[in-house]
């Protein structure tokens, strides 16, 4: 009993100290300069012409509480914070209840954030789950509660909350989903929208109608429980047929939504930007977005992949001279899936890995004419394990072929022979030098692209080829300013020479063989269908696995990478293997339209020789089939050059 009295006194003392501490904070905050919330956390994104294309938090369509449906207001309070008008920023009873439930169940099942806390988090803070962020959230919550009325806080919350699809604020959301003002929303419409912010990508009726209806019922039940509506009103609202017009605005909405998300993700990695935006009124972010290129890229996707298909896509278009990403797509439809495959997905890259290998070969004495025999081959390596790669459709020439021919056909046998001949370090070393940071396994199939790499990383790697050996850093953000015009960050756009420019020139010319009819022989170049379509010259390489299809191409002006596949790794059909190539062709030719066709100048230490394109052997002007190919002076081919695998000892012909 004595112990109980002591515990009771201690408990009362703790409560008193807590109340005094809390009161002291409120008094301090009340006498401090007023926290500005109308512009805090505002983020404005601009394209490469300094045209605004996104504005977050500070809504363009701010409406007062008088112009918001009463159903929205009451449903928001009942759903998010029913004691909103009674507490001073924190609902301590709710916190204790949520803590008890979470501790009892051993996992987080309930949250206890008030509307004011959520508003503070949205305005000023990032979303890191750290104690520092929790402390900052508490501090800003107190500041807001001390300086603004409950109606002002609720109005600000409703005008800045995320309702999905890039719609911040109830007025924007109401216009997008239902084509009407927030004041005109009825109970059914209001209860659907109020349910969305908990998880916009899950509860948007345009993404998952069934899930949104379940969430709507939760909102309606809470209104009944709090005696705001009757059960009859609930049932009528739930059964009301809703007419969504989100589709109507999708064309305008989809442009740059994935790009926007990628920008905000990149923003988090810039050290010069403060973790909290409380000390600045907002940010003006100048990006490399080319709206015309972005629109053309999205149109290419829509015009290529049938609307009923479930196949997905990602694409990156980059200025190789700066690393600036001018267009980006992370999926076919942001409304259906906001998962950004261009920045968050890693996929097997297939034969788009081979140019790194062939540059390594050039660096180690190979030339455009260096020959291996195209034949069915079983390789035996260190631990006596056998490896039997196959060419596409098991097509083999059963004769020596040049490196240029191997590139044209995307020969797997030639690639593995080259890889084993050089040693795995050669390929990995080149990949690392051009900026590939993903894990690369030391295995015989490495040049066939069995490792997973992100599309932005691959585009940056190819930019080193487009730059004649200069590595650049891929980036979307060019400059960041605060609203007063102070520059907080500026991209350096620096280049680093990591490859031999003359060897890259030779490689780039070999990469045009993928659509060159001179290479038609026992097989066809992988992109031969583009030969009559292309109006400009490009270096181009495709990559194919059972569930991935890539096309990456470039010239001096642009690097464009396209991936097509299924999120669940479902195998692609024959028709679907053409999607990436068509998207690449249509988007890159739209970008180059009206521009002169400029190719790389021949370096002084490089000579041109007429050769038979398939064998790589030199021929005369009177040859029926001849191709001008490039070599470092002194390495030009002769008619007596040996085939490399005649000297190799690491394979057995089957």
Give the residue numbers marked as catalytic.
80, 351
| CB burial of residue 96 (10 Å; 0-12, 13-18, 19+) | exposed
Taking the C-alpha atoms of residue 574 and residue 577, their distance in angstroms, rounded to an integer, is 6
Distance of CA 43 to the CA centre of its chain: 19
Burial string for 550-584 (b: 16+ CB within 10 Å, else e) reads bbbbbbebbbbbbbbbeeeeeebeeebeebbbbbb
**What are 454-457's contacts with CB under 8 Å, separation 24+?**
454/342, 454/343, 454/345, 454/346, 454/347, 455/314, 455/315, 455/316, 455/341, 455/342, 455/345, 455/347, 455/561, 455/563, 456/316, 456/325, 456/328, 456/342, 456/343
156, two tokens? 């600000």
Closest CA to 285 of 456, 98, 447, 491: 491
369 contacts 402 by C-beta, under 8 angstroms: yes
480, two tokens? 């960041």
Sign of CA dihedral 301, 302, 303, 307: positive
478, two tokens? 């060019």
Could you tell me how many residues make up the chain? 654
For β-strands 496-497 and 325-329, DSSP reports them as unpaired
Half-sphere exposure of 118 (CA within 13 A, CB side): 23
Closest CA to 451 of 463, 442, 459: 442
What is the rounded end-to-end Cα distance, in angstroms, of the chain? Answer: 90
Closest CA to 520 of 644, 643, 627: 627
72, two tokens? 């929205």
329, two tokens? 């797509």
44 contacts 283 by C-beta, under 8 angstroms: yes
Q: What is the DSSP string of 322-358?
A: T-BEEEEESSS-TTT----HHHH--EE-GGGGHHHHH
Alpha helices in 467-526 (DSSP H): 501-510
């Amino acid at each position: 009993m004595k112990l109980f009295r002591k515990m009771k006194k201690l408990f009362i003392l703790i409560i008193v100290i807590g109340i005094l501490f809390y009161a002291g904070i409120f008094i301090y905050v009340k006498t401090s300069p007023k926290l500005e919330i109308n512009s805090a956390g505002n983020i404005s994104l601009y394209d490469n012409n300094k045209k605004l294309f996104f504005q977050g938090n500070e809504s363009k369509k701010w409406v007062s509480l008088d112009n918001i449906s009463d159903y929205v207001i009451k449903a928001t309070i009942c759903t998010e914070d029913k004691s909103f008008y009674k507490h001073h920023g924190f609902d301590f009873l709710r916190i204790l209840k949520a803590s008890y439930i979470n501790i009892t169940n051993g996992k987080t099942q309930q949250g206890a954030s008030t509307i004011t806390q959520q508003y503070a988090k949205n305005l000023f803070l990032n979303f890191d789950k750290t104690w520092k962020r929790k402390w900052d959230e508490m501090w800003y919550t107190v500041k807001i509660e001390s300086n603004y009325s409950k109606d002002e806080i609720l109005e600000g919350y409703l005008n800045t909350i995320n309702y999905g699809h890039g719609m911040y604020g109830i007025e924007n959301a109401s216009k997008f989903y239902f084509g009407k003002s927030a004041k005109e929303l009825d109970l059914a419409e209001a209860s659907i929208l109020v349910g969305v912010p908990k998880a916009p990508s899950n509860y948007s009726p345009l993404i998952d109608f069934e899930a949104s209806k379940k969430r709507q019922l939760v909102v309606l039940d809470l209104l009944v429980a709090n005696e705001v509506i009757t059960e009859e009103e609930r049932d009528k609202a739930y059964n009301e047929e809703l007419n969504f017009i989100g589709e109507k605005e999708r064309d305008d909405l989809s442009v740059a939504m994935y790009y926007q998300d990628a920008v905000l993700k990149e923003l988090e990695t810039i050290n010069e930007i403060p973790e909290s935006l409380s000390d600045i009124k907002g940010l003006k972010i100048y990006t490399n977005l080319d709206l015309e290129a972005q629109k053309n890229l999205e149109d290419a996707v829509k015009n290529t992949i049938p609307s009923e298909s479930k196949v997905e896509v990602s694409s990156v278009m980059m200025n190789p001279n700066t690393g600036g990403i001018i267009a980006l797509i992370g999926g076919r439809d942001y409304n259906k899936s906001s998962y950004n495959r261009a920045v968050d997905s890693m996929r097997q890259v297939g034969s788009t890995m081979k140019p790194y290998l062939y540059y390594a070969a050039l660096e180690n004495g190979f030339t455009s004419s260096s020959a291996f025999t195209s034949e069915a081959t079983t390789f035996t390596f260190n631990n006596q394990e056998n490896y039997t790669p196959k060419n596409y459709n098991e097509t083999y020439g059963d004769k020596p072929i040049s490196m240029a021919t191997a590139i044209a056909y995307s020969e797997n046998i030639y690639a593995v022979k080259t890889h084993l001949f050089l040693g795995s370090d050669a390929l990995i070393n080149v990949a690392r030098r051009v900026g590939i940071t993903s894990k690369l396994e030391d295995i015989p199939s490495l040049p066939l692209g069995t490792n997973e790499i992100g599309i932005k990383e691959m585009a940056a790697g190819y930019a080193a080829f487009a730059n004649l050996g200069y590595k650049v850093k891929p980036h979307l953000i060019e400059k960041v300013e605060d609203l007063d015009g102070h520059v907080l960050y500026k991209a350096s756009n620096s280049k680093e020479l990591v490859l031999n420019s003359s060897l890259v020139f030779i490689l780039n010319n070999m990469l045009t063989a993928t659509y060159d009819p001179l290479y038609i022989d026992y097989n066809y170049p992988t992109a031969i269908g583009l030969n009559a379509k292309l109006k400009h010259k490009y270096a181009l390489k495709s990559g194919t696995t059972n569930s991935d299809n890539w096309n990456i191409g470039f010239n001096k002006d642009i690097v464009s990478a396209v991936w097509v596949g299924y999120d669940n790794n479902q195998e692609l059909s024959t028709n679907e293997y053409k999607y990436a190539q068509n998207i690449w062709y249509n988007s890159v030719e739209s970008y180059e339209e009206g521009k002169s066709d400029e190719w790389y100048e021949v370096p002084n230490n490089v000579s041109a020789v007429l050769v038979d394109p398939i064998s790589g052997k030199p021929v005369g002007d009177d040859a029926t089939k001849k191709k001008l190919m490039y070599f470092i002076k002194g390495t030009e081919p002769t008619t007596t050059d040996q085939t490399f695998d005649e000297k190799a000892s690491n394979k057995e012909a089957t």
